[in-house]
């Protein structure tokens, strides 16, 4: 923890006093801690307590040192933010994107790992609204530190006690480790569909939105990698701070990939590239008629095989979007294209293209099989990198 830069947000619950003990331990371990108190938190514990523990100013208002723009500066200077305790109120605000004080404004601006440690009465924690709010924040990439069960402030027993200090410290250290795990690594990710035109307004394509590849690029950047994203036609925005190059056709992607894949530590080919394209492209829009239209197709270039053959990437991971015999087809593709690993992506109804959730399995050339489960694409991106990092360490 020595040298860690932590932003602690304390909201207004009885467990606010435990945040002071957490702050003391962090400081003793060598961390630099900035503290934001909500207005309600100040009813439970005074700012002076945290100022004495951290030897730093304590913030509670957007108008504290406004010339320094605290809601931006505090999250830019920190490695990790933790909300402890997190009340049902601040959880609901984060879910809705409400930014009506320094705490919520800073958290909305955060591009660092944000840990949420709920603490409230069991009835509030188990209410379906809170359950839904927490699930939504998890899907967006917030990390939840589940509360403990035990004696509550209302002299009841149940779930809702702030997680133990040991668990909070482990979560902070884990977030810091993930943020640094790809530091110094160069990562290339392809994402989105290709579009193969046969006239100026029509094309052959697929339903991919690029969401999985975008989530992977964002996760790699959060872990400290230098990321290049090759992104096909999509309405989704690329991650903040990630260098992005656009392509439309498979040939354009191939040209970009061969240019960008030199001296790359890890390539993840998540793009859904069309396998065929019209052999001829009309310069003018084909007019509708009663006659049957016949279009001759030819194979598009095999982008992934070309990247592997070029040898510029130390570790290459492909994707296999399958509807049947998933793993058998994926293993054959992995061997045929000389990949280090392949991710099996089930694109049957209810999963895959255009949906928020997916189910993934990682197959490694050594024979290992890692079931990443079914979850949001943001969550799966984290699980995939957790699984790939040991393989990347071997290759690099």
In the chain, % of residues over pLDDT 90: 67
Q: Given 2, 121, 133, 206, which residue is catalytic?
A: 206
Q: Which residue did the predictor score with more confidence, 278 or 38?
A: 38
pLDDT, position 118: 97
What are the Cα distances from residue 174, in Å, to 69, 80, 217, 375?
A: 29, 10, 20, 21
pLDDT digits (tens, 9 = 90+) for 33-57: 999 999 999 999 999 999 999 999 9
pLDDT digits (tens, 9 = 90+) for 154-197: 788 888 899 999 999 999 998 988 888 899 999 999 999 999 99
pLDDT, position 206: 85
pLDDT, position 97: 95
206 catalytic residue (yes or no): yes
Q: How confident is the model at residue 16 (pLDDT cuts 50, 70, 90)?
A: very high
Secondary structure (3-state) at 386: helix
Q: Is 244 left (phi over 0), alpha (psi -120 to 50) or beta?
A: beta
For tokens 């069960």, what's the residue?
149
DSSP element (H, E) containing 82: strand 80-86
pLDDT, position 353: 59
Q: How confident is the model at residue 219 (pLDDT cuts 50, 70, 90)?
A: very high
**Averaged pLDDT for residues 312-328:** 86
pLDDT, position 177: 85
Domains of the chain: 5-180 (3.40.50.1950), 186-279+291-395 (3.40.50.10300)
Q: Is the pLDDT score of 339 beyond 70?
A: yes
pLDDT digits (tens, 9 = 90+) for 99-136: 999 999 999 999 889 999 999 999 999 999 999 999 99
In the chain, % of residues over pLDDT 70: 97
Q: Is the pLDDT score of 375 beyond 80?
A: yes
Specify the length of the chain in residues.
396
d(C-alpha 215, C-alpha 193), whole Å: 15
Q: Which residue did the predictor score with more confidence, 3 or 40?
A: 40
Whether the ω angle into residue 244 lies within 30 degrees of 0, i.e. cis, is no
Contacts (Cβ under 8 Å, ≥6 apart) of 273: 193, 194, 250, 253, 300, 303, 304
d(C-alpha 179, C-alpha 112), whole Å: 8
């Amino acid at each position: 923890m020595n040298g860690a830069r932590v932003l602690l947000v304390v909201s207004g619950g009885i467990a606010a006093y435990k945040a002071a003990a957490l702050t003391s331990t962090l400081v003793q371990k060598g961390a630099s801690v900035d503290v934001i108190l909500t207005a309600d938190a100040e009813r439970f514990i005074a700012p002076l307590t945290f100022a004495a523990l951290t030897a730093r100013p304590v913030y509670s208002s957007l108008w504290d040192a406004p010339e320094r723009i605290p809601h931006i500066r505090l999250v830019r200077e920190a490695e990790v933010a933790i909300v402890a305790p997190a009340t049902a109120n601040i959880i609901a605000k984060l879910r809705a994107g409400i930014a009506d004080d320094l705490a919520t404004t800073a958290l909305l601006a955060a591009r660092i790992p944000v840990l949420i440690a709920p603490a409230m009465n069991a009835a509030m924690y188990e209410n379906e609204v809170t359950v839904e709010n927490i699930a939504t924040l998890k899907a967006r990439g917030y990390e939840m530190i589940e509360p403990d069960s035990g004696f509550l402030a209302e002299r009841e027993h149940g779930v809702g006690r702030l997680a133990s200090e040991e668990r909070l410290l482990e979560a902070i250290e884990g977030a810091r480790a993930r943020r640094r795990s790809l530091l110094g690594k160069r990562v290339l990710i392809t994402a989105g569909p290709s579009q193969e035109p046969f006239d100026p307004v029509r094309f052959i394509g697929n339903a991919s939105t690029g969401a999985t590849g975008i989530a992977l690029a964002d996760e790699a950047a959060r872990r400290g990698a230098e990321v290049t994203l090759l992104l096909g036609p999509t309405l989704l925005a690329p991650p903040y701070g990630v260098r992005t190059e656009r392509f439309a056709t498979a040939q354009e992607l191939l040209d970009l990939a061969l240019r960008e894949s030199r001296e790359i530590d890890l390539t993840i080919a998540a793009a859904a590239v069309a396998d065929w394209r019209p052999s001829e492209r009309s310069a003018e829009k084909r007019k509708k008629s009663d006659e049957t239209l016949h279009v001759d197709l030819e194979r598009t270039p095999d982008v992934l095989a070309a990247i592997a053959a070029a040898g510029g990437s130390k570790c290459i991971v492909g994707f296999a979007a399958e509807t049947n015999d998933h793993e058998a087809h994926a293993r054959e593709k992995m061997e045929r294209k000389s990949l280090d690993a392949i991710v099996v992506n089930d694109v049957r109804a209810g999963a895959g293209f255009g949906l928020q959730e997916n189910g993934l399995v990682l197959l490694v050339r050594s024979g290992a099989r890692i079931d990443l489960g079914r979850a949001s694409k943001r969550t799966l991106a984290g699980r995939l990198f957790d699984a790939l990092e040991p393989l990347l360490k071997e290759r690099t």
